[in-house]
Amino acid sequence: MRSVFLFHIVAVACLMWGQPLPLVGQQVDFEREVAPLLEDRCCYCHGEEDQESNLRLDHRLGMLKGGDSGLAAVVPGKPEKSYLIEVVRHLDPGMEMPLDDEPLTEAEIVLLERWIRQGAIWPGQMDAVEQGETELWSFRPVQRPKVPENRTIHSHPVDAFLAEKLSETKLEFSVPADARTQLRRLSIVLTGLPPTPETTKEFIEKSAENSELAYSEMVETLLASPQFGERWAQHWLDVIRWAETNGSEANLYRKNAWIYRDYVIRSFNEDKPYDQFVREQIAGDTTGVGEALGFLVAGPHVPSATIGREPTAIRQARADRLNEVMQTIGASVMGVTVGCARCHNHKFDPITIRDYYAMTAAFEDIEFGSRHPEYSSDHPLQQRGSELVAELEARRDELKRFGGWEENWGAYRELHFRPIETQGVRIRFKAPSIFIDELEIFGPDEPQVNLALAKHGTKLTGYPEKGFETRNPVTRVNDGQYGTMVWRAKTEKDEEKPWVQFDLSDSKTISRLRISNNREYFYETDYLERKPNLPRYEFDLQILKSDGTWQPWVGTWAVNKKLAEQFPERQETLNEIQSLIGQLAEEGPRPSFVGRLVAPGDTYVLLRGSPENPRDKVAPAGPVMLGGKLDLPEDSTGPQRRLAIAQWLGNVEHPLTARVMVNRIWHHVFGQGLVSTTSDFGNAGALPTHPALLDWLAAEFMQPTEIQGQPWSTKSMLRLLVHSRAFRQSSQPNERGNRLDADSKWLWRFPPKRVEAEVIRDSILQASGNLDLRVGGRSYRIHNVKKTYAQWELVDNHGPETWRRMIYQERMRRVDDGMFTAFDFPDCGQVRAKRPVSTTPLQALNLMNSDFVMEQSRLIAERAQRESEGKSEQALARCFELLLGRKPTPREQESCSTLLRDGELNLICRAIINSNEFAFLP
Amino acid sequence: MNHVENLSPQGRSLLNRRSFLGTAGLSAAGLGLASVLSHDGLLAEEKRTVGGKTPIRPKIDPKQPYADRAPHFESTAKQVLVIYLPGAVSHVDTFDYKPELFKLDGKKPPGLPSVTFEGPAGNIAKPFWEFKPRGETGKRTSELLPHLARQVDDFCFVHSLSTETSAHPQGENFMNTGFTMEGFPSFGSWVTYALGTESQELPAFVAINDPRGLARSGKNNFGNGFLPAAFQGTDFNAKNPPNNLSRPSTLNRGADRRTVDLLQRLNEQHLERYPQDADLAGRIASYELAGRMQTSVPAVMDLTRETQQTLKEYGVETGSSLKQEYAKNCILARRLIEQGVRVVQLFNGSDPSGGNGITNWDSHANILKTHAMQAEIMDQPTAALIADMRKRGLLDHTLVVWATEFGRMPFLQANGTGRDHNPNAFTCFLTGAGVKAGTSYGESDEFGFKAAVNPVSVYDFNATLLNLMGLDHERLTYYHNGLERRLTNVHGKVIQDVLL
């Protein structure tokens, strides 16, 4: 805008000098006037030789396209929108052009402006258009290739593709692994748990009869087990760096964020089609799976208290939060580092800064915070909630005959009383000091409608009206806003006590009153020493009679104290109600940190990523080169925008979505993706080792022909891969393979690798017989309850409360769990497309000396003894079976003999837990 | 497991025989783990980097990920000690002398902001401590830090630093990892990734945390981010050894040893089935190092053999109990450097919940009292540490960095007694190997409000530190999620004027 303004000043200045305005109407001669200027002053850096900032000013198309900044250097007809003018006028600090040279003269600049205003006519180049295609392989449509001809030998299509490459590199598949190895590998890959000794025994017997059948049946069993979803959810959560704390200084706990984790587990277990899985995580609020939006707010964020009060910092923080959303989607679904286009056009990939901001426009209604997720009636949480509410209602019915009662809902208290029709309600508090963020009144007819709300026409009066220090007015109790904006009333000793009065718009039946003092805080976080307290305010409630007088109707003293004395039998039901409320908060729908929805604002391209430099307004869309245009109305709502972009991502025409997911699945099956950079399919990432195979798998994923099953089925894809010879072959190295392909990227053997932290922990617990396989629910805690700005401290990472699968361990950003952080367990600060596998002495120390391992070693030994009737040789064998799925070899027996003789079976277990065999996927 | 190093002759020969890198004729980069350890995207090796330079990838032997590796170019500094002061030290009250502030005390000159991090800004306040010329250079520093003041002739101050955030956790992240966001590798992890360590008995990178707890960015300050976990800082101090270092109390030495012996035999037998597998051998080696750490770490933590004179100089027995604790940490820092540990990061402050009323340098209120309390803890032990290292010749090959995340405002907070955060100007200093002593680089403006002459960004500062360690900040990269990541992102210029 500033440049327009200046343009006018120049024009006025020219008039004042008494010259005719320089020939606005007269056509600029490009060849004679403009070309020499460009050549002389610009093309040295932005021409054929050099293209600083990827900008070319030696042809018209380059001008229209602009450089890295993403701004068009020239917008024909609009000098005020042309970045070229801005930089030569030195209006953009830090970008004064020509660089390190004399500025252009005023006359030269005015000439350029005139030329642009007249349409930037460049004879001979007016028809040049941008090629709408990209060379980047992954942006091109998936083409289903033919399966190679060698299928007579390799009946499995995956093997056929792989064998082709193997023969090119003069390699071949290894022999099949033995049944025990195949089972252990299959079980860990699919469920994250090794097989039990019983399963192993049964499988080996069956395999001896019919190995193919035994294997297929085992695949089905494992895919159908609830542990499957837990394993594969873990992979997904890694990529999006999901955690249950905010990160940053206070690193506050995100209350009930875990319901998103459960959603992911459920989705994998139900084999939800992947396109639907993506759609729900972006727009699940529109289809009754509101908790799926936890995906969008999976990344870290800095809460407002630590951002500070400077407006620029506040704007920057919002841009940072949206960037976290972009990174999540880019890394997980798209396999594109979209975040790289935040400040300038992507350096490597065909993503412009405009694309970046157009994408953020689709997520403008997302904020980091809590809400009540939207659930369809058949949602498991909703169903469980309905059951519990029905039980709750039954108990309430029992209580009604005694009169009123009070319920504690954590965030608020609710006073229930005999229904009464009235047009006025007055509440007189007995304490001199009151904090209330909201006070709600409900009736039996429409139990969800807050009759007290100002926007329903209810008039409010109260005392003290303006509140403490006249800054905390009473109007806050019925403004519909929860949080720190409270009515704070403080009265002196001999003064009138606080009261509020609601004049309803017309006569209504009322039966319930709800009161709270900071519901938002209660909903958003937990495990803090200083929680929002929910004081028990004593008050009386009066109703306005038709004759205009006030009648005492109910009060806290009456329902709690008086009725309790009168009807002690009430207490049991009250306790049941409280317990049902507790259950509902665990098992039913509840406010959860899965994102808050706000009114979407306008989105602008931010020059150099700075919120202080907004430029063109952009409409929601995916990147242009990915066909991301969304046909949305001008005034589209937030959910409409997200749904549109989700549908675009899940479209079978989208070149990335399927490729990225099948590659991710491949990565977790074979240890290395066909594209080894699993979240970067761009020019800076790796090329696929087997491009045809990747495309065939992607095509098959979206539109299955070869494999049985629905489109986008993760389980079908896995079923296909684990049946391949490549997966079932031995992992033994051989000289030739090592020499020609030490990384095993051509899969001449199955590449062994150290298993993840979770597999180690879960396997140990399974061996001791103590692994609690309950699926879902609140995470088990290993940390303290802390002060707001304190660091989390480890309290107990090994006690019986923690004996669940590790996916249920509370996942805290940048907090060391004292055990498995050393095993490359991610800190959840940055996207972790795949975990490094490193080896450190801290791993050794943790696995040798931790309380967890010491305790579990003892428990495994005790179990082994129990299950072998005191025979020490058998007990030893049992330890090997429980931990390694096999009996000891004679040499191992001999190695263990001294320890066994001395009754130190627990130390044998400790050694096995630390052994390489235990830690490696065979 | 003290005796892991006594690998059985059979195991030893197994490892030797398969000293793959030699006999099998394979390069380290060709082996399974090597690719994971050293570089995620070997396939992307030929790819462009943003800066256009080719990355120099450390050749990491999977059997010895901490082996001493050559720097990119010759350098005098082989080791580095970073003394980090969380909370933001007031530069205008310590090392950045601004006479104008005395004149303008209580006034509000134009051009200064009306709102800063915590809210409305008040009037200029002169330094709370007197400044005096020191040493031969005559550098003026304040009475707040009298011990450090005696060594100013050896220091190289950088007065023109500025940062990109005025919030502590982001500021700590930025200084220590080069990014305000979380999850990026720390300076120490970059250095150990590149250089390994001279000591094969101790962790390559030790983070000595404040007695009051971790700083606000917690583990992020010394974490490995997306680098392999092998390069994270090991967290211990004079009081608390690393997690799970010692043999469990329920276990006697003999029982422990018998477990280790059995483990070795199990692994040997397993290795026979997987000959030439570097991952497995690497894991065996890690147990050996762990075993050595069980004796070497308690030994390095044992201050009983320090002389009375040393204890006195560091202030171990005088002053507040926090100072005494911190002084012990300072001695530990020196001992670690003596043992050849590559990177030692010593913290002087924690998050705001620990301690007795004062937890770090964040003096929003009553700076006169709170900065003095913090200085009492920091000054004498830190000065003694640097002097002691110099006396013992350790500074010949050790770089010392004294750093904080930003400065404090030349004015008070409105109606307040403290100074708010100042991201626009702050001071850090360097000393030791490779550093031009007795100099001051860059200047803040007349108020100390803004970097004015030769401004230095945190990127520049970190680029300079890497340069002092013999590393080219543009070529020390690691492929992660689409980019060759660097400590300095795509920025940073080495400050040549501070180099010897």
SS3 per residue for B403-469? ECCCEEEEEEECCCCCEEEECCCEEEEEEECCECCCEEECEECCCCCCEEECCEEHHHHHHHHHHHC
Give A682's contacts in chain B (Cβ within 8 Å): 482
CB contact under 8 A, A676 and B223: no
Q: What DSSP assignment string belongs to A736-781?
A: HHHHH-TT-TT-SSPPPEEPPHHHHHHHHHHHHT--B---SSSPBP
Given a contact cutoff of 8 angstroms between Cβ atoms, the answer to whether A117 and A3 are in contact is no
Contact B206, B237 (CB under 8 A): no
**From CA B478, how far away is CA B467, in angstroms rounded?**
17
How far apart CA B99 and CA A600 sit, in angstroms, is 50
Q: Report the residue of A679, A895, A916, A921 to disrupt the B interface, i.e. the one with the largest count of B CBs within 10 Å.
A: A916
Give the pair of three-digit tokens for residue B204: 């390559």
| Min Cα–Cα distance to chain B from A913, Å | 9
What whole-number distance in Å separates Cα of residue A621 and Cα of residue A645? Answer: 7
Taking contacts as CB-CB distances below 8 angstroms, the residues of chain A near B246 are 849
Question: Between residues 259 and 318 of chain A, which touch chain B (CB distance below 8 Å)?
Answer: 300, 302, 306-311, 313
Residues of A with Cβ-Cβ distance to B230 under 8 angstroms: 838-840
Question: How far is Cα B425 from Cα B98, in angstroms, rounded to an integer?
Answer: 13
Q: In this structure, what DSSP letter does residue A449 have?
A: -
Nearest CA to CA, how far is B405 from chain A (Å)? 14
What is the pLDDT averaged over residues A581-605? 94
Report the chain A residue with the minimal C-alpha distance to residue B113: A310
- At residue A815, does pLDDT exceed 80? yes
**A533 Cα to chain B: minimum distance (Å):** 21
Q: What is the pLDDT of residues A607-624, one digit of tens each?
A: 999 999 999 999 999 999
Would you state the structure tokens that stand for residue B357, as one six-digit string?
């009323």
Q: What is the rounded CA–CA span in Å between residue B68 and residue B190?
A: 14
* Residue B450 belongs to a domain: yes
Residue recorded with tokens 């109600």: A577
Q: At what angle do helices A197-209 and A211-224 cross, to 10 degrees?
A: 140
CB contact under 8 A, B275 and A911: no
Q: How far apart are CA A208 and CA A191, in angstroms?
A: 24
B398-403 and B426-432: which strand pairing? antiparallel
- Which DSSP category does A447 fall into? T
Q: What is the DSSP letter of B82?
A: E
CB within 8 Å: B166 and A850: no
**Contact pairs from chain A to chain B, CB under 8 Å:** 307
A177 contacts in chain B (CB < 8 Å)? none
Of A326 and A470, the structure prediction assigns the larger pLDDT to: A326
Give tens-digit pLDDT for A391-401.
999 999 999 99
Two structure tokens written together for A388: 């519990």
Residue ranges in B18-137 assigned as alpha helix (H): 20-23, 32-38, 99-103
Inside any domain, residue B350: yes
Residue type, A512: R
CA dihedral A443, A449, A453, A458 (to 10 degrees): -50
Residue A630 above 90 pLDDT? yes
Q: Does ipTM come in above 0.90?
A: no
**Over 90: is that where the pLDDT of A708 sits?**
no
Nearest neighbour of B182 by CB, restricted to A308, A348, A829: A829
Spatial distance between the Cα atoms of A523 and A590, rounded to a whole number of angstroms: 9
Structure tokens at A337: 């580092």
The number of beta carbons lying within 10 Å of the beta carbon of residue B120 is 14
Name chain A contacts of B279, Cβ cutoff 8 Å: 752-754, 837, 839, 920
Give me the amino acid identity at A544. L
Give the residue on B whose Cα is nearest the Cα of A846. B244
Half-sphere exposure of A117 (CA within 13 A, CB side): 16
Calculated CA dihedral for residues A212, A216, A219, A224, nearest 10 degrees = -160
User: Rounded distance, CA A662 to CA A89, Å?
Assistant: 51
B60 vs A contacts (CB less than 8 Å):
none
A94 in contact with B, Cβ within 8 Å: no
- Give the A window 660-679 contacts with B, CB below 8 Å: 676-677, 679
Q: Above 80 in pLDDT, residue A545?
A: yes
The reported pLDDT for the residue numbered B281 is 81
Contact residues, chain B, for A752 at CB < 8 Å:
274, 277, 279
pLDDT at position A14 over 90 = no
Distance of CA B244 to the CA centre of its chain: 23
Percent of chain A's residues with pLDDT above 70: 96
Number of structural domains found in chain B? 1
Which of A663, A665, A690, A691 lies closest to A677 in space, CA to CA? A663
Q: Dihedral through CA B212, CA B218, CA B222, CA B227, nearest 10? A: 160
Q: Which candidate, B125, B79, B73, places its Cα nearest to that of B104?
A: B125
User: Which one-letter amino acid corresponds to residue A422?
Assistant: T
Q: What is the pLDDT of residue A393?
A: 95
What is the chain B residue with the closest CA to A678? B481
Q: Which domain holds residue B428?
A: 64-238+305-498
B341 vs A837, more confident: B341
Q: Where are the beta strands (DSSP E) in A374-448?
A: 405-408, 413-429, 433-436, 438-442
Choose the closest CB to A898 out of B170, B258, B293. Answer: B258
Give the whole-angstrom CA distance, residue B382 versus residue B397: 18
Q: Would you call A191 an interface residue with chain B, using a CB distance cutoff of 8 Å?
A: no
Q: Bridge-partner residues for A621, per DSSP? A: A629
**A837:B48 CB<8 A:** no
What is the rounded average pLDDT of the residues A676-694? 92
B-contacting residues in A 687-746 (Cβ below 8 Å): 687, 689, 731-733, 735, 738-739, 742-744
Distance between CA atoms of A343 and A609, rounded to whole angstroms?
4
pLDDT digits (tens, 9 = 90+) for A352-409: 999 999 999 999 999 999 999 999 999 999 999 999 999 999 999 999 999 999 999 9
Tokens standing for A892?
Answer: 């191992």
Instruction: Collect all residues with Cβ–Cβ distance below 8 Å to B305 and sequence separation of at least 6.
Output: none
pTM of the model: 0.84
pLDDT tens, position by position, B256-315: 999 999 999 999 999 888 877 777 888 888 898 899 999 999 999 999 999 999 999 999
Query: Dmax of chain B from CA atoms?
Result: 80
Which of the pair, A126 or A906, is modelled with greater confidence?
A906
In a domain, B3, yes or no: no
pLDDT the model gives residue A15? 40
Pairing mode of beta strands A539-544, A413-429: antiparallel
Name the DSSP letter for residue A253.
Answer: B
Domain ranges of chain A: 2-117, 139-224+658-744, 273-379+590-654, 403-566, 851-921
Residue A125's pLDDT is what?
87
Summarised one tens digit per residue, pLDDT across range A198-231 is: 999 999 999 999 999 999 999 999 999 999 999 9
Q: Tell me what the mean pLDDT of segment A531-559 comes to.
A: 90
Q: Which residues in A lie closer than 8 A to residue B121 (C-beta atoms)?
A: none
Higher per-residue pLDDT: A683 or A20:
A683
Q: Average pLDDT over chain A, rounded to whole?
A: 91
Length of chain A: 922
Q: Do β-strands B131-134 and B419-422 pair in parallel, antiparallel, or remain unpaired?
A: unpaired
Nearest to A503 by CA among A540, A470, A456: A456
Gap between the Cα atoms of A591 and A255, Å rounded? 8
**pLDDT for B51:** 62
8 A C-beta contact, residue A213 and residue A228: no
Among candidates A302, A851, A916 on the partner chain, residue whose Cβ is nearest the Cβ of B283: A916
B chain contacts of residue A246, beta-carbon cutoff 8 Å:
none
Query: Mean pLDDT lowest for which of A496-505, A675-684, A775-784, B351-360?
Result: B351-360
Nearest to A307 among B167, B213, B258 (CB): B167
Q: Which of A532, A487, A535, A577 is nearest to A255 (CA)?
A: A532
In this model, does residue A632 exceed pLDDT 60?
A: yes
Contact A268, A283 (CB under 8 A): no
CA dist., res. A743 & res. A749, Å (int): 10
Q: Which of A327, A287, A348 is nearest to A138 (CA)?
A: A348
Better-scored residue on pLDDT, A132 or A221: A221
The CATH number of residue B94's host domain is 3.40.720.10
Residue carrying structure tokens 């040493």: B135
Task: Look at residues A483, A500, A568, A510 and name the one whose alpha carbon lies nearest to residue A539.
Answer: A500
**Predicted local distance difference test score (pLDDT) of residue B9:** 36
pLDDT at B50: 58
pLDDT at B183: 85
In angstroms, the CA A336 to CA A861 distance is: 49
What lies within 8 Å, CB to CB, of B458 at 6+ separation is B161, B162, B163, B164, B174, B175, B178
Cβ-defined contact of B36 to A836 (cutoff 8 Å) = yes
- Partner residues linked to A336 by β-bridges: none
Does B312 fall in a domain?
yes
Which residue among A337, A733, A839 sits closest to B482, beta carbon to beta carbon? Answer: A337
Task: Answer whether B289 sits within 8 Å of A249, measured CB to CB.
Answer: no
pLDDT at A100: 84
Q: With an 8 Å Cβ cutoff, are A850 and B245 in contact? A: no
Residues of chain B with pLDDT under 70: 1-51, 353-357
Bridge partners, B411 (sequence order) = B124
d(CA B142, CA B129) in angstroms, rounded, equals: 6
The residue ranking higher by pLDDT, B474 or A870, is B474
- A778 within 8 A of A258, measured Cβ to Cβ: yes
Distance (Å, whole) CA A364 – CA A595: 12
User: Does a structural domain hold residue B257?
Assistant: no
The confidence score (pLDDT) of residue B230 equals 83
Question: Does the beta carbon of A840 lie under 8 angstroms from any beta carbon of chain B?
Answer: yes
pLDDT tens, A135-189? 899 999 999 999 998 766 778 999 999 999 999 999 999 999 999 999 999 999 9
- Looking at beta carbons, which residues of chain B come within 8 Å of A749? none
Residue pLDDT, tens place only, A568-581? 999 999 999 999 99
| B262 to A310: CB separation less than 8 angstroms, yes or no | no
Q: Residue B119 gets which letter from DSSP?
A: E
The verdict on A348 touching B (C-beta cutoff 8 Å) is: yes
- A680 to chain B, any CB pair closer than 8 A? The answer is yes
Nearest-angstrom CA–CA distance, A50 and A69: 17
Q: Which residues of B touch A309 (CB under 8 A)?
A: 115-119
Answer whether residue B289 is part of any domain.
no
- CA-to-CA distance for A191 and A194, rounded, in angstroms? 8
3-class SS of residue A463 = strand
pLDDT of residue A24: 53
Taking CA atoms, B493 is separated from A307, A495, B464, B484, B488, in Å, by 29, 68, 7, 18, 9
pLDDT, one tens digit per residue, over A304-337 is: 777 877 888 899 999 999 999 999 999 999 999 9
Alpha-carbon gap, residue A231 to A756, rounded angstroms:
11
3-state secondary structure of A502: strand
Per-residue pLDDT averaged across A1-28, rounded? 47
Q: List all residues 6 or more positions away from A216 whose beta carbon is below 8 Å from its beta carbon.
A: A723
Greater confidence, B18 or A807?
A807
A783 in contact with chain B, both atoms CB, cutoff 8 A: no
